[in-house]
Amino acid sequence: MQVAEAVRGRAEWRSSIAVLRREPDRNRQVKADYCAMTGTPKLDRIDLRILAQLQKNGRITNVELADAVGLSPSPCLIRVKRLEKAGYIAGYGAHVRLEKLGDTQTVFTEVTLSDHRREDFARFEASIRGIDEIVECHLVSGGYDYLLKFITRGVNHYQSIIEDLLERNIGIEKYFSYIVIKSPFIKHHFPVERLFPPHE
């Protein structure tokens, strides 16, 4: 039954992609209508450029931002406020350089649950949400269920967290750990202009 549902789901997904490719104009109109109904502002190239600049430097002044995106300061500020109000900008923060504070250990962990009912996933997610050392949690397809990212003081610290999780009896069947030796780069911004090219 599950296999049949998965096959049907893939077929529907492929059918949807085919429709999107065949009817780009119609899809743009549907998106525009949705934005109009929900009150969500439709983003243009300048809006995306503003978002790209702000996520790289949240402390940029309005004058500097306006110059970077090719606007005068007043309309630039209006656009920023509109993006904030619409929820495109969730907040502003600082990127802390952990290596300046001391040694840390990054660990990626594959987790497989023993049962796969909806309540099993919900219980697991609720149980780990409050663990500060788990900075990312992804439900994935493939040979395991979750990919977690830990930031810890070291291997012993990581192992103590894992042992605590196992003692909680939250449905973990098995896990595999991958110790990060080196991170050549970590990007804290998304390529919004490439991911969401505007259709004007």
Domain membership of residue 19 (yes or no) is yes
Q: Which helix (H) or strand (E) holds 105?
A: strand 105-113
- Going from the C-alpha of 101 to that of each of 94, 183, 193, the distances in angstroms are 15, 17, 34
Do 62 and 133 reside in the same domain of the chain?
no
126 and 134 in contact (C-beta within 8 Å)? no
Each residue's pLDDT, cut to its tens digit, for the chain (200 residues) gives: 444 444 444 444 444 444 444 444 544 554 444 444 445 678 999 999 999 999 999 999 999 999 999 999 999 999 999 999 999 999 999 999 999 999 999 999 999 999 999 999 999 999 999 999 999 999 999 999 999 999 999 999 999 999 999 999 999 999 999 999 999 999 999 999 999 987 65
Residues 61 and 127 in one domain: no
CA 178/CA 181 separation, integer angstroms: 9
Whether 106 and 173 map to the same domain: the answer is: yes
pTM of the full structure: 0.75
- Which domain, by its residues, includes 44? 2-93
Residues 88 and 102 reside in one and the same domain: no
CATH of the domain at 80: 1.10.10.10
- Which ranges of the chain would DSSP assign to H, the alpha helix? 2-22, 24-38, 45-56, 62-69, 73-85, 98-101, 118-128, 155-167, 192-195
Task: Please tell me whether residues 105 and 37 are part of one structural domain.
Answer: no
